[in-house]
Structure 1
Amino acid sequence: MKTLLNIIWLLFGGLWLALGYFAAGIICCLLVVTIPWGLASFRIANYALWPFGRTVVDRPGGTGVFSLLGNVIWLLVAGIWIAIGHVVTAFAMAITIIGIPLAIANLKLIPVSLMPLGKQIVPSDRPFVTTYSKGYH
Protein backbone atom coordinates (compact mmCIF):
# COMPACT_ATOMS: atom_id res chain seq x y z
CA MET A 1 0.00 0.00 0.00
CA LYS A 2 2.89 2.37 0.81
CA THR A 3 4.33 1.87 -2.68
CA LEU A 4 1.00 2.63 -4.36
CA LEU A 5 0.53 5.78 -2.27
CA ASN A 6 4.09 6.88 -3.03
CA ILE A 7 3.53 6.44 -6.77
CA ILE A 8 0.29 8.44 -6.63
CA TRP A 9 2.06 11.07 -4.50
CA LEU A 10 4.92 11.25 -6.98
CA LEU A 11 2.57 11.79 -9.91
CA PHE A 12 0.34 14.36 -8.21
CA GLY A 13 2.84 16.76 -6.71
CA GLY A 14 5.68 14.91 -5.00
CA LEU A 15 8.05 15.22 -7.95
CA TRP A 16 7.55 18.98 -8.24
CA LEU A 17 7.81 19.44 -4.51
CA ALA A 18 11.06 17.45 -4.38
CA LEU A 19 12.47 19.41 -7.33
CA GLY A 20 11.69 22.66 -5.51
CA TYR A 21 13.50 21.52 -2.38
CA PHE A 22 16.38 20.22 -4.51
CA ALA A 23 16.71 23.57 -6.31
CA ALA A 24 16.69 25.38 -2.95
CA GLY A 25 19.43 23.01 -1.76
CA ILE A 26 21.61 23.81 -4.77
CA ILE A 27 21.17 27.55 -4.26
CA CYS A 28 21.96 27.27 -0.54
CA CYS A 29 25.09 25.20 -1.24
CA LEU A 30 26.31 27.68 -3.86
CA LEU A 31 26.09 30.49 -1.30
CA VAL A 32 28.53 28.56 0.97
CA VAL A 33 27.38 30.22 4.22
CA THR A 34 23.99 28.52 3.88
CA ILE A 35 25.34 24.99 3.26
CA PRO A 36 23.63 23.55 6.39
CA TRP A 37 20.25 24.67 5.03
CA GLY A 38 21.20 23.30 1.61
CA LEU A 39 21.92 19.88 3.06
CA ALA A 40 18.64 20.03 4.98
CA SER A 41 16.84 20.93 1.74
CA PHE A 42 18.32 17.87 0.03
CA ARG A 43 17.17 15.72 2.96
CA ILE A 44 13.64 17.17 2.72
CA ALA A 45 13.66 16.71 -1.07
CA ASN A 46 14.39 13.02 -0.60
CA TYR A 47 11.56 12.78 1.94
CA ALA A 48 9.18 14.76 -0.28
CA LEU A 49 9.89 12.40 -3.15
CA TRP A 50 8.81 9.23 -1.30
CA PRO A 51 7.13 10.13 2.07
CA PHE A 52 4.96 7.10 2.81
CA GLY A 53 6.67 4.60 5.08
CA ARG A 54 9.10 7.14 6.54
CA THR A 55 8.99 9.61 9.41
CA VAL A 56 11.07 12.43 10.87
CA VAL A 57 12.88 12.10 14.21
CA ASP A 58 15.40 14.22 16.08
CA ARG A 59 18.99 13.43 15.15
CA PRO A 60 20.97 12.12 18.11
CA GLY A 61 23.22 14.91 19.32
CA GLY A 62 22.01 17.20 16.54
CA THR A 63 19.75 19.50 18.51
CA GLY A 64 22.37 21.83 19.94
CA VAL A 65 22.55 25.59 20.09
CA PHE A 66 23.67 25.93 16.47
CA SER A 67 20.77 23.81 15.22
CA LEU A 68 18.34 25.87 17.28
CA LEU A 69 19.76 29.17 16.03
CA GLY A 70 19.81 27.89 12.43
CA ASN A 71 16.23 26.68 12.73
CA VAL A 72 15.06 30.07 14.04
CA ILE A 73 16.73 31.83 11.10
CA TRP A 74 15.26 29.27 8.67
CA LEU A 75 11.80 29.67 10.23
CA LEU A 76 11.82 33.43 9.79
CA VAL A 77 13.31 33.45 6.28
CA ALA A 78 11.71 30.47 4.57
CA GLY A 79 10.09 27.95 6.90
CA ILE A 80 6.85 29.78 7.58
CA TRP A 81 6.21 30.34 3.87
CA ILE A 82 6.95 26.74 2.98
CA ALA A 83 4.63 25.55 5.76
CA ILE A 84 1.84 27.79 4.48
CA GLY A 85 2.36 26.31 1.02
CA HIS A 86 2.07 22.80 2.46
CA VAL A 87 -1.17 23.69 4.28
CA VAL A 88 -2.72 25.22 1.15
CA THR A 89 -1.67 22.26 -0.98
CA ALA A 90 -2.94 19.79 1.64
CA PHE A 91 -6.30 21.55 1.67
CA ALA A 92 -6.52 21.31 -2.12
CA MET A 93 -5.60 17.62 -2.05
CA ALA A 94 -8.11 16.82 0.71
CA ILE A 95 -11.05 17.88 -1.45
CA THR A 96 -11.23 14.41 -2.98
CA ILE A 97 -11.35 11.16 -1.04
CA ILE A 98 -8.36 9.79 -2.96
CA GLY A 99 -6.39 12.91 -2.09
CA ILE A 100 -6.85 12.63 1.69
CA PRO A 101 -3.77 10.40 2.25
CA LEU A 102 -1.79 12.79 0.05
CA ALA A 103 -2.99 15.73 2.13
CA ILE A 104 -1.88 13.95 5.30
CA ALA A 105 1.55 13.32 3.74
CA ASN A 106 1.76 17.01 2.87
CA LEU A 107 0.97 17.91 6.48
CA LYS A 108 3.69 15.47 7.63
CA LEU A 109 6.22 17.62 5.76
CA ILE A 110 5.38 20.75 7.78
CA PRO A 111 7.46 20.05 10.93
CA VAL A 112 10.63 19.27 8.97
CA SER A 113 10.06 22.24 6.65
CA LEU A 114 9.73 24.55 9.67
CA MET A 115 12.72 23.22 11.63
CA PRO A 116 14.96 21.14 9.31
CA LEU A 117 18.25 21.21 11.21
CA GLY A 118 18.84 18.44 13.72
CA LYS A 119 16.31 16.11 12.07
CA GLN A 120 16.68 12.69 10.50
CA ILE A 121 14.33 10.78 8.20
CA VAL A 122 13.93 7.10 9.09
CA PRO A 123 11.60 4.24 8.13
CA SER A 124 8.33 4.59 10.04
CA ASP A 125 8.40 0.98 11.17
CA ARG A 126 11.66 1.75 13.06
CA PRO A 127 11.37 5.39 14.22
CA PHE A 128 13.81 4.94 17.10
CA VAL A 129 16.50 2.98 15.26
CA THR A 130 18.89 5.44 13.68
CA THR A 131 21.98 4.98 11.58
CA TYR A 132 24.00 6.29 14.53
CA SER A 133 22.76 3.59 16.88
CA LYS A 134 23.67 0.90 14.35
CA GLY A 135 27.26 2.09 14.16
CA TYR A 136 27.08 3.65 10.67
CA HIS A 137 28.58 7.13 10.75
Structure 2
Amino acid sequence: MAIQFQKMCFTTPFLLNQCGVQPREPFQFSLNANPNSFSTMSPIKEIEMHFPINQTLSNSQVGKLVDLWANVFAADWNYKIALSTYLYLTQLPTIPTYESINPNTTAGSKLLKIWDDLVASKAAWQFHESQGFFIRKTK
Protein backbone atom coordinates (compact mmCIF):
# COMPACT_ATOMS: atom_id res chain seq x y z
CA MET A 1 0.00 0.00 0.00
CA ALA A 2 1.43 3.36 -1.01
CA ILE A 3 1.52 6.21 1.45
CA GLN A 4 -0.55 9.16 0.33
CA PHE A 5 0.78 12.63 0.87
CA GLN A 6 -0.71 16.06 1.09
CA LYS A 7 1.10 19.17 -0.02
CA MET A 8 0.91 22.70 1.33
CA CYS A 9 2.74 25.85 0.32
CA PHE A 10 3.76 28.47 2.87
CA THR A 11 5.07 31.97 2.29
CA THR A 12 7.89 33.34 4.40
CA PRO A 13 5.71 36.05 6.05
CA PHE A 14 3.22 33.36 7.12
CA LEU A 15 6.00 31.14 8.48
CA LEU A 16 7.59 34.01 10.41
CA ASN A 17 4.38 35.62 11.68
CA GLN A 18 2.04 32.65 12.21
CA CYS A 19 4.27 29.61 12.71
CA GLY A 20 7.05 31.01 14.86
CA VAL A 21 9.86 30.30 12.40
CA GLN A 22 13.06 32.05 13.45
CA PRO A 23 13.72 35.22 11.40
CA ARG A 24 17.14 34.32 9.98
CA GLU A 25 18.79 32.99 6.88
CA PRO A 26 17.54 31.34 4.76
CA PHE A 27 14.33 33.35 5.20
CA GLN A 28 15.85 36.79 5.58
CA PHE A 29 18.81 38.49 3.96
CA SER A 30 21.94 38.55 6.08
CA LEU A 31 25.52 39.53 5.44
CA ASN A 32 26.80 36.60 7.54
CA ALA A 33 30.03 37.43 9.33
CA ASN A 34 31.59 39.34 6.45
CA PRO A 35 29.70 42.40 5.14
CA ASN A 36 32.01 42.54 2.10
CA SER A 37 31.29 38.96 1.12
CA PHE A 38 29.24 37.81 -1.85
CA SER A 39 28.41 34.63 0.01
CA THR A 40 24.89 35.48 1.07
CA MET A 41 22.02 33.41 -0.21
CA SER A 42 18.89 34.98 -1.58
CA PRO A 43 16.03 34.72 0.93
CA ILE A 44 13.43 32.00 0.57
CA LYS A 45 10.04 33.45 -0.30
CA GLU A 46 7.98 30.26 -0.33
CA ILE A 47 8.33 26.60 0.57
CA GLU A 48 6.35 23.49 -0.22
CA MET A 49 5.80 20.88 2.48
CA HIS A 50 4.70 17.30 1.83
CA PHE A 51 3.50 15.15 4.70
CA PRO A 52 1.35 12.03 5.25
CA ILE A 53 -2.31 12.61 4.39
CA ASN A 54 -3.51 11.36 7.79
CA GLN A 55 -1.34 13.94 9.59
CA THR A 56 -2.74 17.21 10.91
CA LEU A 57 -0.24 19.93 11.75
CA SER A 58 -0.71 23.03 13.88
CA ASN A 59 1.07 26.24 12.93
CA SER A 60 3.59 25.68 15.73
CA GLN A 61 4.31 22.14 14.48
CA VAL A 62 4.83 23.52 10.97
CA GLY A 63 7.18 26.12 12.45
CA LYS A 64 9.24 23.51 14.31
CA LEU A 65 9.56 21.32 11.21
CA VAL A 66 10.50 24.27 9.02
CA ASP A 67 13.11 25.41 11.56
CA LEU A 68 14.68 21.93 11.53
CA TRP A 69 14.74 21.94 7.73
CA ALA A 70 16.10 25.50 7.64
CA ASN A 71 18.90 24.44 9.99
CA VAL A 72 20.04 21.93 7.35
CA PHE A 73 19.66 24.48 4.56
CA ALA A 74 21.67 27.12 6.43
CA ALA A 75 24.27 24.63 7.73
CA ASP A 76 24.87 23.36 4.20
CA TRP A 77 25.33 26.93 2.97
CA ASN A 78 27.72 27.73 5.83
CA TYR A 79 29.66 24.53 5.11
CA LYS A 80 30.13 25.49 1.46
CA ILE A 81 31.42 28.93 2.46
CA ALA A 82 33.78 27.52 5.13
CA LEU A 83 35.04 24.83 2.76
CA SER A 84 35.70 27.38 0.02
CA THR A 85 37.60 29.56 2.50
CA TYR A 86 39.62 26.60 3.76
CA LEU A 87 40.48 25.48 0.21
CA TYR A 88 41.52 29.01 -0.72
CA LEU A 89 43.72 29.47 2.35
CA THR A 90 45.35 26.04 2.18
CA GLN A 91 45.58 25.88 -1.62
CA LEU A 92 44.56 22.21 -1.50
CA PRO A 93 43.91 20.70 -4.93
CA THR A 94 41.10 18.42 -3.68
CA ILE A 95 38.28 18.44 -1.15
CA PRO A 96 39.68 17.40 2.24
CA THR A 97 38.29 14.58 4.36
CA TYR A 98 37.15 15.39 7.87
CA GLU A 99 40.26 13.72 9.30
CA SER A 100 42.64 15.64 7.03
CA ILE A 101 41.49 19.11 8.10
CA ASN A 102 44.03 20.92 10.27
CA PRO A 103 42.19 21.86 13.50
CA ASN A 104 45.11 24.06 14.60
CA THR A 105 44.26 26.78 12.11
CA THR A 106 41.40 29.24 12.44
CA ALA A 107 39.90 28.19 9.09
CA GLY A 108 40.34 24.50 9.91
CA SER A 109 38.75 24.67 13.34
CA LYS A 110 35.87 26.74 11.94
CA LEU A 111 35.32 24.26 9.09
CA LEU A 112 35.29 21.32 11.52
CA LYS A 113 32.73 23.03 13.77
CA ILE A 114 30.52 23.90 10.79
CA TRP A 115 30.88 20.36 9.43
CA ASP A 116 29.78 18.97 12.83
CA ASP A 117 26.79 21.36 12.83
CA LEU A 118 25.82 20.19 9.33
CA VAL A 119 25.97 16.52 10.33
CA ALA A 120 23.91 17.17 13.50
CA SER A 121 21.26 19.24 11.70
CA LYS A 122 20.94 16.59 8.96
CA ALA A 123 20.49 13.87 11.59
CA ALA A 124 17.78 15.88 13.37
CA TRP A 125 15.88 16.43 10.11
CA GLN A 126 16.37 12.86 8.85
CA PHE A 127 14.08 11.45 11.53
CA HIS A 128 11.18 13.56 10.26
CA GLU A 129 12.06 12.79 6.65
CA SER A 130 11.83 9.07 7.47
CA GLN A 131 8.31 9.75 8.80
CA GLY A 132 7.25 11.10 5.40
CA PHE A 133 7.95 14.82 5.73
CA PHE A 134 9.58 16.64 2.85
CA ILE A 135 10.22 20.37 2.38
CA ARG A 136 11.60 22.20 -0.60
CA LYS A 137 12.16 25.80 -1.60
CA THR A 138 9.79 26.87 -4.38
CA LYS A 139 10.54 30.60 -4.57
The TM tier, using the shorter chain, reads 0.3 to 0.5
Higher helix share: 1
Provide TM-score, normalisation by structure 2: 0.33
Provide TM-score, normalisation by structure 1: 0.34
